[in-house]
């Protein structure tokens, strides 16, 4: 029983770490925006957010381009958050 519980906890911690690694947080004045990169990377091409070349850090070019890109995509696909407080979370 003790081994089973230990194994369960270990699997849970590893799964949590893997999921956390997929999360990206972008700091913003009115609250950080956190999103699941894995979900977004399967929904669109890397170049859409990262530009040409090898993807590295998120390249959005500031508030206006980020809003145009993110909200525009969410409106086009009719899914995901489209209002300020749905993305921006103050801690």
36: domain CATH number is 3.90.10.10
pLDDT at 50 over 80: yes
3-class SS of residue 71: helix
User: Is 79 a member of any domain?
Assistant: yes
Domain region containing 42: 23-89
User: Is 42 a member of any domain?
Assistant: yes
Asked whether the CA dihedral 31, 39, 75, 45 is positive or negative, the reply is positive
User: Is 39 a member of any domain?
Assistant: yes
What is the pLDDT confidence band of residue 48, given thresholds at 50, 70 and 90?
confident
User: Is 73 a member of any domain?
Assistant: yes
What is the pLDDT confidence band of residue 85, given thresholds at 50, 70 and 90?
very high
Lowest-confidence region among 6-10, 31-35, 59-63, 87-91:
6-10
Q: Could you report the per-residue pLDDT of 15-42, keeping only the tens digit for each?
A: 434 444 699 998 889 999 999 999 999 9
Task: Give the residue with greater pLDDT, 12 vs 87.
Answer: 87
User: Is 85 a member of any domain?
Assistant: yes
Return the structure tokens found at 25: 């947080």
Q: Are 24 and 38 in contact (CB under 8 A)?
A: no
- The number of distinct structural domains making up the chain is 1
CA distances 12 to 2, 20, 21, 33, 37, Å, are 15, 12, 14, 25, 20
User: Is 17 a member of any domain?
Assistant: no
């Amino acid at each position: 029983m003790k081994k089973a519980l230990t194994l369960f906890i270990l699997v849970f911690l590893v799964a949590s770490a893997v999921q956390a690694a997929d999360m990206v947080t972008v700091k913003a004045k009115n609250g950080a925006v956190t999103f699941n990169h894995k979900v977004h990377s399967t929904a669109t091409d890397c170049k859409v957010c990262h530009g040409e070349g090898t993807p590295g850090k998120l390249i959005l070019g500031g508030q206006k381009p980020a809003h145009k890109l993110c909200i525009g995509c969410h409106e086009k696909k009719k899914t995901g958050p489209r209002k300020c407080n749905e993305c921006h979370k103050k801690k």
